[in-house]
Amino acid sequence: MLARVLRWGGGALVVAAFSLASATPSFAPHIAQLQITPNQAKAGEEVTVFGPRGYARTNPVEIHFGSVSGPMLGKFQPNEEAYAMWGPGTVRIPEDAKPGIYSLYATQVVLPAESHIRGVPARGELTVLGPGGTPVLGATQAPALPDQSGPGLVEEEPVSTGTVVLVALGVGGVGMFLAGGAALAASRRRSVEPVAGA
């Protein structure tokens, strides 16, 4: 009975050790996003825009219609967090916007000290509805975002293969140690048990 408990306990410890070794936390910064509610509106109507965490905290965020250099619909100041958020706030769709699918862009001037900020300009999609509030069939998709890669976005200290192998060997060693302890305890128990019929 004790041997079975020790085997199950050793197995559980090995599984736990492997789980902990593979579940080490890693740094994952927020990426700037632009949320638009509702994502369908008529020309001249207002929509709510929101930038969840991921923006630089120094300069304001500008919302542009159709392209990063399109008409500015609004300006919002981020809060003081490291990966700042802004809004929610409202912007008005231009009166002369024709029915179709458009992009709203959240642009921001990022200082050299804020080069860790990723995803700016952020883009959100908006459908400008036609007469009667219906979507226009066959509307073209919004253009792709420009290349956002830049200096300072390379991982500085990647985990090497050697480190992963050492962690795996360490976990394996702990598992073998526990299995050996369980086997030793089981063999001692057998040697102490009285022989039947003696």
Could you read off the pLDDT of 16-33 as tens digits, one per residue?
Answer: 666 665 555 545 567 899
Across all residues in the chain, what is the average pLDDT?
A: 79
**Mean predicted confidence (pLDDT) in 84-109:** 94
List the alpha helices (DSSP H) in the chain. 2-22, 161-192
Cα–Cα dist 18/30, whole Å: 28
pLDDT tens digit sequence for 159-175: 677 777 778 888 888 88
State the fold for domain 35-133. Immunoglobulin-like (2.60.40)
Arithmetic mean of pLDDT, 138-153: 48
Q: Are 91 and 45 in contact (CB under 8 A)?
A: no
Domains of the chain, by residue range, sit at: 2-26+158-192, 35-133
CA atoms of 7 and 175, how far apart (whole Å): 11
Q: In the structure, what pLDDT confidence band is assigned to residue 132 with cuts at 50, 70 and 90?
A: confident
Give the pLDDT band of residue 135 (cuts 50, 70, 90).
Answer: low
- Higher model confidence: residue 174 or residue 37? 37
Q: Is the pLDDT of residue 100 over 90?
A: yes
Among 68-72, 81-85, 165-169, 190-194, which is the least confidently predicted range?
190-194
Alpha carbon of residue 181 to chain centroid: 42
122 near 106, Cβ under 8 Å?
A: yes
Which of 143, 173, 139, 185 lies closest to 4 in space, CA to CA?
Answer: 185
Indicate the pTM of the whole model.
Answer: 0.57
105 band by pLDDT with thresholds 50, 70 and 90: very high
- Per-residue model confidence (pLDDT) at position 155: 45
- At residue 141, the pLDDT reads 47
